[in-house]
Structure 1
Amino acid sequence: MRARDLGVTIGEHPTGPHNAITDVPGVRVGHTTLQGDGINTGVTVVVPHDDIWTEPVFAGAHVLNGSGELTGLEWIRESGELTTAIGLTNTHSVGVVRDGLVAEQVRVRGDGAYWSLPVVGETYDGFLNDINGFHVRPEHVRSALAAAAAGPVAEGNVGGGTGMICHQFKGGIGTASRVNGHTVGVLVQANHGRRDRLRINGVPVTQPEVPLPAHPPGYLPGSGSIIVIVATDAPLLPHQCRRLAQRSALAVGRLGGAGEQYSGDLMFAFSTGNRGIPPYGGEDTARAASEIPLRMVGPQLMDLLFDLTIEATEEAIVNAMVSAETVTGYRGFTAHAIDHDLLASALGENA
């Protein structure tokens, strides 16, 4: 079930064929989902293109609120280049997933004089998952990479989003896309927000009939995080990627996210529109051309790309909630799914 299955349409621009980040040509997504005995967690990977381990793409990042982690950002800020696939998981498994991505690059490139600084994002699933049990292992990263595919993307309680809570409904992985000349696709791991602030198409969606999740004493509503991954085939330079990442934060705000004190709201964007960037390290760098022809979209086109990014991010977050199912997890905590009938009715009445 997705938002559009309930008649919920966000924005005015058309979607790609799968309404997913994989509508950007070459982008693939894979999940490993771990569930059972208090475990609700996993790994999600986004692969920008098949040769990402040897051919970087331009990228940029934005931080709405920094109570979270997205590894590798200092080199992204310095060089503007993404050199690996992107991983998403829970807060205490970032190191395992990062090591797994390094191992994959070593497998592909072999032993040589180069370095690997993967981008791995996290959100905290410790209410529904035995997060301190360290259940994510290297083989789960390998499985997610092996499963990475184009086409439709599983959403909700899958991969890194398995144990996540969004606006105090069950959350998780969501994706969407927009097309207007170029394609913009977004994937989110949504674990943020407060119920009383949630607005979809401007309509309050508090659903008092659906119980709020129970939390330990001292928990502040809205504590959590969201990781937003934006992909596009528009030929962007690094500073333009950063601007797309920044605009995706506006979608978080349009739905009611406020970048709360203990929310890690981290946005990342990459472009596949400039291929042929030489790899780092050793003989590859020594042989690389000293000048590389590049393309960029004109500044006047950025407004359209901003619009596509905001719409796709909004719908991806809503898809994360609509696709999710109620979960009772570690220590008996329950996160209830958003009620589809109530949502369709509320938005239909305000159409």
Structure 2
Amino acid sequence: MMMDKRRGRVLGLPFPGVAGAHNAITDVAGVEVGTVTLISGEGPLVVGKGPVRTGVTAILPRGKANADVPCAAGYYALNGNGEMTGVVWIEEAGELQTPITITNTHSCGVTRDATIRWLVSHGVGTGQDWGLPVAAETYDGDLNDINGFHVTAEHTIAALDGASSGPVEMGSVGGGTGMLTYDFKAGNGSASRIVEIGGRSYTVGVFVQSNFGRREDFMVLGVPVGRHIGQGKLRGKDQGSVIAIVATDAPLLAHQCKRLARRVPIGLARTGTVGNNSSGDIFLAFSTANEASFAQRSGIVSMEALPNGDLDKLFMATVEATEEAVIDAMLCAETMTGRDGNTAIALPHDQLLTVMRQFGRL
């Protein structure tokens, strides 16, 4: 399928690395992504009625068909002013046992509980008599009636049921509907990289719900773009958060997944952020390898794993895909007006390309 014409590579931005077929987290075989987008109303905020600019995103590491099989996983928080449920057990067990949902800050508990309902209704077990789903959030209250609690369990279940492989819709969709990045409209973004290690090919895919950054700090491939596009600020300050999910089919153990998650901030830093106090920057990485071993619930299991000395290409892939995912989250979003007439402008492609040419990057 043709790549979205708004994405950076199509516009000519020279991102490094070799991307997968869809340049998305779904290039890792088995990974499925679903979204439900809620947009309604306009004008003054009336709590409980709108305007509504929000939604929910669901990520199934092994898809619906193998949702009961855990993955090796690890998480890392650059700054903890945010929420990702379920990570205490991931830290303890080294396994991701549930789908992942991402939404707005005040609906995170709803999507967590709805995921349990989905697991029960689909007969999906976790290897225990209970589930500890991963649910994460970023703040969309600049545009959305966040205290109106418009995301429901039914929306979450619809996102899980509707998850699929293939191209991932980006920008103002799903949990990213009401989000901003560097004071431009943003939301969901994704990218992937193909790497060769020891004669075998592996894929790394990154998904971000991007909602952070001060305009003046914004960088694209080393160019200080934010200093040259000053119009239309809504926040005028660093506020918000970023959730990143890293997937790979490379055989990794839990501690190695954590090492991948720890590389996400390097990719974010390439776009200009320093991880401000108000930003909840939380990241989770998982490996879909060793499926048969994770499906085995008892006895001795054997697992493949890359040696630590071979991880550098995966680290680079994570950094590169994170940077590109954030920028594509912005490029794929369109200007949006929400509560009280607040308007988040889209990153203007023509001005971006002009600045990039001025700095010799096109």
Shorter-chain TM-score bucket reads: over 0.9
Give deviations 1:149-184, integer Å, cap 9, x for gaps.
111100000000000010111110000000012100
Partner of 2:267: 251
Q: Given the two structures, how large is their TM-score scaled by the length of structure 2?
A: 0.90
- Which residue among 110, 135, 156 is the counterpart of 1:141? 156
Contact 2:57 2:103 in 1 (8 A): yes
Given that 2:60 and 2:67 are in contact with CA atoms closer than 8 Å, whether structure 1 keeps it comes out as: no
Is 1:194–2:209 an aligned residue pair?
no
TM-score (norm 1): 0.93
Match of 1:49 among 56, 59, 62: 62
Determine the structure 2 residue equivalent to 1:210: 231
Indicate the percent of aligned positions where both proteins have the same amino acid.
48
| Residue aligning to 1:175 | 190
CA contact under 8 A between 1:73 and 1:119: conserved in structure 2?
A: yes
How many Å apart are 1:344 and its aligned residue?
Answer: 1.5
- How far the C-alpha of 1:347 sits from its partner, in A, is 1.6
Counterpart amino acid of residue 225 in structure 2: V
- What one-letter code is carried by the residue in structure 2 that aligns with 1:226? V
Does the aligned pair in 2 maintain the 1:171–1:191 contact within 8 Å?
yes
Where 1:344 maps in the other structure, the secondary structure is: helix
Alpha carbons 2:229, 2:351 under 8 Å: kept: no
- Identify the residue that residue 112 of structure 2 maps to in structure 1: 98
CA distance in 1, matches of 2:14, 2:99: 30
The verdict on how the C-alpha distance between 1:205 and 1:40 changes in structure 2, with shifts beyond 3 A counting, is same
Question: What is the match of residue 159 of structure 1?
Answer: 174
Distance 1:118-1:110 versus aligned 2 partners, 3 A rule: closer
Matched, 1:120 2:120: no
Q: Which residue of 1 aligns with 2:47?
A: none
Indicate conservation of the 8 Å contact 1:210/1:339, yes or no: no
- Does structure 1 conserve the Cα–Cα contact (< 8 Å) formed by 2:183 and 2:235? no
77, 81, 89: which one aligns with 1:75: 89
Contact 1:214–1:333 (CA under 8 A) maintained in structure 2: no
| 1:317 alignment partner in structure 2 | 326
| Local SS of the residue matching 2:311 | helix
* Contact kept in structure 2, 1:236 and 1:273, CA below 8 Å: yes
Report if aligned partners of 1:21, 1:231 keep a CA contact under 8 Å in 2: yes
Letter of the 2:38 counterpart:
L
Distance 1:332 1:121 in 2: 27
Asked whether the equivalents of residues 98 and 118 of structure 1 are also in contact (C-alpha less than 8 Å), the reply is: yes
Aligned to 2:7, which of 2, 27, 30? 2
Over aligned residue pairs, what C-alpha RMSD do you find? Answer: 1.6
The 8 Å contact of residues 293 and 303 in structure 2, kept in 1 or not, is answered as no
Q: Work out the number of aligned pairs and report it.
A: 338
1:21-41 residue CA offsets vs partner (Å, 9 max, x unmatched): 000000010000000111000
Whether the 8 Å contact between 2:67 and 2:124 is mirrored in structure 1 is no
Task: Give the conservation status (yes or no) of the 8 Å contact 1:197–1:257.
Answer: yes
In structure 1, what residue type is equivalent to 2:62? H
- Give the superposition deviation at 1:113: 6.0
Contact 1:33 1:42 in 2 (8 A): yes
Contact persistence 1:184–1:305 (CA under 8 A): yes
CA offset at residue 52 of structure 1?
4.8
Q: By how many angstroms is 1:289 displaced?
A: 2.9
Structure 1 stretch 205-214 or stretch 332-341: which is displaced more?
205-214
CA positional deviation for 1:348? 2.8
Over 3 Å counting, the alpha-carbon distance change for 1:192 and 1:113 in structure 2 is: closer
In 2: Cα distance, 1:289 partner to 1:176 partner: 36
Q: Which amino acid aligns with 2:58?
A: V
Query: 3-state DSSP class of the match of 1:290?
Result: coil
Structure 2 partner of 1:65: 79
Q: Distance in 2 between matches of 1:337 and 1:190?
A: 14
CA–CA distance in structure 1, aligned partners of residues 256 and 279 of structure 2: 25
Q: Paired residue for 1:18? A: 22
Give unmatched runs, 5+ long, in structure 1. Answer: 216-220, 280-284
**Whole-angstrom CA distance in 2 between matches of 1:239 and 1:35:** 40
Give distance in 1, aligned partners of 2:61 and 2:356.
35
Query: What does residue 129 of structure 1 align with?
Result: 144
CA distance in 1, matches of 2:206, 2:15: 14
Give 1:210 deviation, angstroms.
2.9
Give how far 1:278 is off.
Answer: 4.8
2:282 matched residue in structure 1: 266
Match of 1:282 in 2: none
Question: In structure 2, what is the equivalent of residue 218 of structure 1?
Answer: none
Q: Secondary structure at the match of 1:174?
A: strand
Q: Which runs of 5+ in 2 are unaligned?
A: 1-5, 42-50, 196-200
In the TM superposition, what whole-angstrom CA distance separates every residue of 1:100-135 from its partner, at most 9, and x where no partner exists? Answer: 110111112279961100111100000100000000
Give CA-to-partner distance per residue, 1:243-268, whole Å, 9 cap, x none.
00000111111111111011000011
- 1:292 correspondence with 2:301: yes
